[in-house]
Amino acid sequence: MPSPTTPARMIPLGLVAAVLVLVADQASKWWMGEVLRLPERGHVPLFSAGPFSLDLSMVWNRGVTFGLMAGDAPWHGWLLAGLALVITLILLRWMARAETRPVAVALGAVIGGAIGNVIDRLRFGAVFDFVDASFRGWHWYVFNIADAAIVLGVIALVADALFRPPSTGRDGVAKEPV
C-alpha cells in the first residue's frame, strides 16, 4: 500500500490548493467588481501606515505578471490564455510526480492562479487587477490574488529546489533530479 506521501497521493492535495486559490481569486474579483464597484470608482484608499500604503485600484492587465508582454490585438488574450493552459498541463504532470506536500501545494497555487487569470482573459480580454501597494510613494505593480498565488508558489518551488535534501533510492544513493 502506498504511503501518504507517494507522488500519486499528492495530486488531491495539489488540486485542493488549486481550487481554493481559484475560488478565492474569482470571488475577490466578483466582489471588487459587483459589490464594491471598483471599475466605476477606480481607486479606494484602504490604509496607510507610515511610509506604506495599501489601496484598491482598478487595472485591466492585458499582459502577464507585472504587465509584461501586453498587447491590444484581439488574438493576444487568446494566445496568452493558450500559453497559460499549456503551462498548466505541464505543472499538472509535475504535480503527479511531486514527492512532498509543499511542492504539491505550491504547484496547486500556481495552477489555481493561472486558471483564475485565464478565466479573466477569456471573459474580459484582460486580467482584473486591484491590489495596489506602495512604499514611500513608489507603487508596486497592481495585482490580484491569482498573481500573488503564482508568485508565492514559484518562490516555494525555488526554495524547495534549493534547500530540500536530495532524496535517496533503496540503495541509499542520492537520486538525480528528474
Query: Confidence band (pLDDT; 50, 70, 90) for 65?
Result: low
Of the listed ranges 2-6, 104-108, 152-156, the least confidently predicted one is 2-6
Q: Which three cell numbers stand for residue 168?
A: 535517496
Active site residues per annotation:
129, 147
What is the distance between the alpha carbons of residues 155 and 178, in angstroms, rounded to a whole number? 19
Assign 88 to helix, strand or coil. Answer: helix
Over residues 106-121, the mean pLDDT reads: 95
Query: Confidence band (pLDDT; 50, 70, 90) for 1?
Result: very low
What is the distance between the alpha carbons of residues 99 and 148, in angstroms, rounded to a whole number? 24
The domain locations on the chain are 7-41+60-128+141-160
- Report the percentage of the chain scoring pLDDT > 70: 80
What's this model's pTM, rounded to 2 decimal places? 0.82
Each residue's pLDDT tens digit, 68-95: 555 565 656 677 778 888 999 999 999 9
Over residues 22-37, the mean pLDDT reads: 97
Q: Which three cell numbers stand for residue 91?
A: 505543472
State residue 2's pLDDT score. 44
